[in-house]
Structure 1
């Protein structure tokens, strides 16, 4: 059974993620763990935040019509350590988070947490910034990093593609701006697709001075339903650029995004 972790403070944007997770769990016979984290110590005076989280969770569950197993965990402290602990303790397979897109992350996801979650998560991450339905996800933009190693991320992506019965639009952004590399890049993308045994895809090369802008512009032009990105799972500083591009795309995209590190769980923990 797939276990889906949903960090949730029950804000409007966080609920978008939770609603999408319910639909995903129903389609995959999965189970949901709702993680609510508060920095308020249990001994503090005043109405406990944990109690509000518990009430919000109960009210949400009442409105769920699909037969999906949902449980809540409330933890005290900081978000990132709590997420990491639950992933290990519960053998989580996927994270789903509600976001506010280009306006930034909602209260739970302020600041550098975006990049940290993308970098540290040993499992795929969905970022949901608008109401999304599985049945509508038919066109997925896949920016290609052209890495012919570590199948972990691509294995998960192919499973997702099969579940959605979607088409992949393989994309490489040529930042040289003169267009002279297009033929070479197209060949490399074709080799990348063959190496990873991809099917049902198109090959696309676009020119832009900024990789993030090129990805977002292309996704808008083809009216894509989702952007998927695989990244290095290394914490080596030399790979921070890759992570920053992924985090930047997630934070500025006006559609569903999915990211996954191209290394196994054991390599990242």
Structure 2
């Protein structure tokens, strides 16, 4: 966890994410890449890239740098190496591109969630990053004065998910010295006996040397409710889940449990790309 990317729109939610990133950076001697993406029309971006003195673009660039100065002066960032970056791109794709360019290990984003009509047809930028990012994305909803992870729920069907996502989850657990609660949610439409479910989970984690875990089968109306209810029952500090990264019509038709959790969970959620 040497390089952490924190996208910011200078909102309270973004600062909550930056405060968590600062805690992790101090603990693991990490660098923070703090990035702000200006969403300008393509014609203006082209004009700016050709060194044109485009008034609107120059104004927003200077405004962003002024806000960066204010943020970087915060006490909680003292002693941390922070890279400032202002770029022009669509927020969700630009963040993923920035993560690849800088070889970051983790993206931390603030979110207040999206619900109702907005959730269905627009979605939040955080949700879009979750869908496109190749590296784990940690979504923060609230301020955490002490970001400690002791109880970590890793939810999966343990059938279609890649074992690589569980490996990434165990690395996070080791970093925090946390216990992983392996969770499979049973629903009426997709029911599996406890014996078969436990056997499937055991096969899924076979070969991984991580031993600080529990196996849990939970029944509920749907998977999302089951994950949220179980996490509440053990007072989990973090929920982890894999995402298939569906886009376009496939995403609209199939949806994504990971993105629903990002929108609806009150607890921090970390997603791993399959």
Q: TM-score surpassing 0.5? A: yes
Which of 1 and 2 has greater Rg?
Answer: 2
Partner Cα separation in structure 2 for residue 156 and residue 178 of structure 1? 27
Task: Give 1:107-118 correspondences, 5 Å limit.
Answer: 111=123, 113-118=125-130
Among 63, 66, 90, which residue is 1:52 paired with?
63
Query: Residues 195 and 145 (structure 1 numbering): CA distance in 2 closer, same or farther, change over 3 Å?
Result: farther
Q: Does structure 2 retain, via aligned residues, the 8 Å contact 1:20–1:132? A: yes
Q: Answer yes or no: is 1:144 the counterpart of 2:156.
A: yes
Cα distance, 1:113 vs structure 2? 3.5
Give the match for residue 199 of structure 1.
211
Query: Secondary structure at the residue paired with 1:136?
Result: coil
Q: Answer yes or no: is 1:23 the counterpart of 2:23.
A: yes
Give the match for residue 110 of structure 2.
98
Give the match for residue 236 of structure 2.
224
Q: Which runs of 5+ in 1 are unaligned?
A: 105-109, 263-269
Greater alpha carbon shift after TM alignment, 245-254 vs 181-190: 181-190
Give the match for residue 83 of structure 2.
71
Partner Cα separation in structure 2 for residue 36 and residue 239 of structure 1? 27
Deviations 1:162-201, CA, capped at 9 Å, x for gaps: 1111011111100127976222212222332334343111
Q: Answer yes or no: is 1:250 the counterpart of 2:259.
A: no
Give the match for residue 73 of structure 2.
62
Partner Cα separation in structure 1 for residue 261 and residue 38 of structure 2? 28
Q: How many residues align?
A: 258
Q: Does structure 2 retain, via aligned residues, the 8 Å contact 1:102–1:253? A: no
Query: Secondary structure at the residue paired with 1:215?
Result: helix
Partner Cα separation in structure 2 for residue 133 and residue 162 of structure 1? 21
Partner Cα separation in structure 1 for residue 208 and residue 253 of structure 2? 23
Query: Secondary structure at the residue paired with 1:100?
Result: coil
Deviations 1:13-44, CA, capped at 9 Å, x for gaps: 11111111111112121111111012244624
Greater alpha carbon shift after TM alignment, 237-246 vs 118-127: 237-246
Deviations 1:227-251, CA, capped at 9 Å, x for gaps: 0112346769778888610000111
Task: Give 1:157-236 correspondences, 5 Å limit.
Answer: 157-176=169-188, 181-232=193-244
Partner Cα separation in structure 1 for residue 197 and residue 240 of structure 2? 19
RMSD: 3.0
Greater alpha carbon shift after TM alignment, 205-214 vs 152-161: 152-161
Give the match for residue 119 of structure 2.
none
Q: Which runs of 5+ in 2 are unaligned?
A: 49-53, 117-121
